[in-house]
Amino acid sequence: MFKKRFSMMTVLVACLCAIVVTLGAIFYSMERITGDALGSLKFLKTLVLVREKFVEQPSDGKLFDGAATGLVKALDDPYSVYLDQQSFKDISNVTEGFFGGIGVVVGKKENNFVVVAPLEGTPGEKAGIKAGDKIVQVDGKKTAGMQLEDVVGMIRGTQGTEVELVLDDNKGNERTVRVVRGDIKIKSVAGEMLPDSRIGYIRIAIFNENTSGEFAKKYQELEEQGMQALLLDLRQNPGGILGESVRVAQYLVPKGPIVSVIDREGRKYTEESYLEQVKYPLAVLVDHGSASASEIVAGAVQDTKSGKLFGTRTFGKGSVQTVYRLPQNTGLKLTTAKYYTPSGRSINGTGITPDEVVELPEQPTKDIQLETAENYYVICRNNNLRTNAFKHWFFCFCYIFMIKYLSI
């Protein structure tokens, strides 16, 4: 009898020890993974209670999506977001150059949802939506307190459907705009030789995965047409893929750093140009809608003095987002680093002030920013002509002096 009780006690103690060890291992694993084991247990307990006690049977998919959304929302970063299946598909389409919506890029600035830029030729641009417009309402719903992805999600939609926006022009004037959604296909690069000149003009609307290849092709075409100067238009360019902007900048700035990326551990990675010499006089057009990747190009040109910037102060987005693929075709867009211009400037929140500020009137009859940049090239050309003429006459004078006074 004693032996039987002893055996039962031994088994019981062994089971208790196994439970303690297992719980300890779980607790230790949670501590290592999350840094807060009690917080993890709190989350798991909440999940169990919701699944078992909520008055209706909840969807596990919705619970997990909601938990992931809340987790990223707690970062209080407007550019970090959990991407559900539709959002992940949308962001993939944008980088490839097509998506459904009205063709405006939206950002968050000073707790307002702001139009970074309307994309060229899209329903949003044709409806008169402008960079800097604050989005107050979407289809009758106030945007205050919403997350960026919620606002973007409401604006996007099926081709042919209508969305109603209430916009503030930053002067206290609100207007209602109704826009029919379209199938947005983004032409990243366009260009031509400006009339009656040798100035090549290249417009980059967005930096998607096709941009650097399209830029290289257009650049070569303009060279074959006799280009002697380049005018790069980055106005209303909301950015895009960092690597594409670097590959474009490698055509424009001399050997050395283009941009430095620094993560939270202080690790620094620098993208560089290997161009031995800048080939052409360069002018770059920027405005409030120039953001992110377009600011990388503009900042590199300004810091290396490879050209001059004309227009208005840029948007000021100096952070880097990485998109991670998650199970079930979902994803995570996360701010993973900050970037700095070649001189070490961070433009986050401040933007880049052009070398020559040129404001456009509210109802412009001509593009005075473009005209100012063209005049810059004319001045450069005239200065070069005067310099060359001076060198010519100076060498002639030296030659005559040597013949007349130094000949033996």
Active-site residue set: 292, 303, 317
* Token pair of 176 as six digits: 């209602």
- Chain-centroid distance of CA 126 in Å reads 23
Please say whether the dihedral angle defined by the alpha carbons of residues 86, 87, 92 and 97, taken in this order, is positive or negative.
Answer: positive
CA distance 146 to 133: 17
Q: Which of these, 119, 126, 98, 292, lies nearest to 203 by C-alpha position?
A: 119
CB atoms within 10 A of CB 117: 30
CA distance 209 to 78: 23
Name residues whose C-beta falls within 8 Å of residue 39's C-beta, 6 or more positions apart in sequence.
none
CA distance 337 to 53: 41
